[in-house]
Amino acid sequence: MLARPPAPRRVAIRLLGAAGAAAVALSACGGSTTSETTIAAAPRYVMTYIAGNTESQFLEEVFAQALSNPDVLNLRIARRDPVADLKSAYQLLTSDRIALLPSSTRDLLKLLRTLPKPPPTTTTTVAAGASTPGTTSATGATTAGATAGTTAGTTAGTTAGTAASGTTPATTPGPTTTTTTLPPVLDGEGIPVKASDQAAEINTLLPAGIAMSIVSTGEHKAALACTADAVSTHQLSTMSSLTKPSSGLVLGAPAGFDTASPFGAAGLKDTYGVAFKSVVTMADDTAIADAVKAKKIDCAVIDSGSPQIVKSSLTVLKDDRSLIPGNAVVTLYNQSQLDDVSASVIDAVVERITTANLSTILSLLASGIQPHVAAKQFLESAQPEAPPGTGVPGTATLDTSTPGTGPAVTAPTTLGSTPAASTPGT
Fold match flag (46-118+186-218+325-381 vs 222-316): yes
Give the span between the Cα atoms of 413 and 305, in whole angstroms.
Answer: 27
SS3 sequence of 232-294:
HHHCCCEHHHHCCHHHHCEEEECCCCCCCCCCCHHHHHHHHCCCCCEEEECCCHHHHHHHHHC
**pLDDT at residue 173, rounded to an integer:** 64
**pLDDT at residue 415, rounded to an integer:** 60
The per-residue pLDDT for range 32-80, each reduced to its tens digit, is 455 566 666 678 999 999 999 999 999 999 999 999 999 999 999 999 9
The per-residue pLDDT for range 96-108, each reduced to its tens digit, is 999 999 999 999 9
Contact by Cβ (8 Å): 48, 79? yes
Q: Any residues with CB less than 8 A from the CB of 260 and at least 6 apart, and which? A: 267
* Cβ neighbours around 140 below 10 Å, total: 7
Give the span between the Cα atoms of 373 and 57, in whole angstroms.
Answer: 11
Query: Residue 15 pLDDT > 90, yes or no?
Result: no
| CA 113, chain centre distance (Å) | 21
Give the span between the Cα atoms of 380 and 376, in whole angstroms.
Answer: 6
Cβ burial, residue 287 (10 Å; 0-12/13-18/19+):
middle
The per-residue pLDDT for range 193-245, each reduced to its tens digit, is 999 999 999 999 999 999 999 999 999 999 999 999 999 999 999 999 999 99
Q: Buried b vs exposed e over 107-138: b needs ≥16 C-beta within 10 Å? A: bbbebbeeeeeeeeeeeeeeeeeebeeeeeee
**pLDDT at residue 125, rounded to an integer:** 45
Strand 222-226, strand 210-212: pairing: unpaired
Contact by Cβ (8 Å): 374, 58? yes
**pLDDT at residue 1, rounded to an integer:** 41
Cβ burial, residue 288 (10 Å; 0-12/13-18/19+):
buried
Give the span between the Cα atoms of 316 and 236, in whole angstroms.
Answer: 10
**pLDDT at residue 39, rounded to an integer:** 65
Contact by Cβ (8 Å): 195, 327? yes
Contact by Cβ (8 Å): 216, 382? no
Mean of pLDDT values over 127-145: 43
Instruction: Tell me what percent of the residues of the chain surpass a pLDDT of 70.
Output: 67
Domain-by-domain residue ranges, the chain?
46-118+186-218+325-381, 222-316
Query: Residue 189 pLDDT > 50, yes or no?
Result: yes
The per-residue pLDDT for range 370-397, each reduced to its tens digit, is 999 999 999 999 999 876 554 433 333 4
Q: Thinking of the domain 46-118+186-218+325-381, which architecture would CATH place it in?
A: 3-Layer(aba) Sandwich (3.40)
Say whether 424 sits in a helix, a strand or coil: coil
Angle, helices 86-94 vs 105-112, to 10°: value is 70
Query: Residue 110 pLDDT > 90, yes or no?
Result: yes
Q: What is the pLDDT of the chain when averaged over all its residues? A: 78
CATH fold, domain 222-316, is D-Maltodextrin-Binding Protein; domain 2 (3.40.190)
* Helix locations, 295-423, DSSP H: 308-311, 340-351, 355-366, 371-381
Say whether 195 sits in a helix, a strand or coil: helix
**pLDDT at residue 138, rounded to an integer:** 39
Q: How far is CA 176 from CA 173, 179, 180, 292, in A?
A: 9, 10, 13, 56
Instruction: Tell me what percent of the residues of the chain surpass a pLDDT of 90.
Output: 58
The per-residue pLDDT for range 301-354, each reduced to its tens digit, is 999 888 899 899 999 999 999 999 999 999 999 999 999 999 999 999 999 999
**pLDDT at residue 363, rounded to an integer:** 87
**pLDDT at residue 36, rounded to an integer:** 63
**pLDDT at residue 35, rounded to an integer:** 56
